[in-house]
Amino acid sequence: MTLQAKIPDEDYIVPIGKGIIRREGKDVTIVGSLLMMHFSMMAAALLEKEGISCEVIDPRTLWPLDIELIINSVKKTAVL
């Protein structure tokens, strides 16, 4: 599996302390940064074949960590 992302031609800024949802899901949340984010996307694709919908969070920065994004995702995917 090859992962690709569009790289803008113009200058751009990645906000410090703001993560991003790389893949929407409803059953489980996976958080991974850097190389682990790519492995997380591959795992989500494999789990989708098993009927499991994974939300993949890329925190982009570890300090400060976007705790709010992670908590909201876990609340969304939690089984209560």
pLDDT, one tens digit per residue, over 9-56 is: 998 888 999 999 999 999 999 999 999 999 999 999 999 999 999 999
List the domain boundaries for the chain: 20-77
What is the per-residue pLDDT for 12? 85
CATH of 20-77, one of 3.40.50.920, 3.40.50.20, 3.40.640.10, 3.30.70.260: 3.40.50.920
Buried b (16+ CB within 10 A) or exposed e, 19-52: beebbebeebbbbbeeeebbebbebbeebeeeee
Angle subtended at Cα 5 by Cα 78 and Cα 65, rounded to the nearest 5 degrees: 45
- How many CA atoms are closer than 13 Å to the CA of 76, on its beta-carbon side? 18
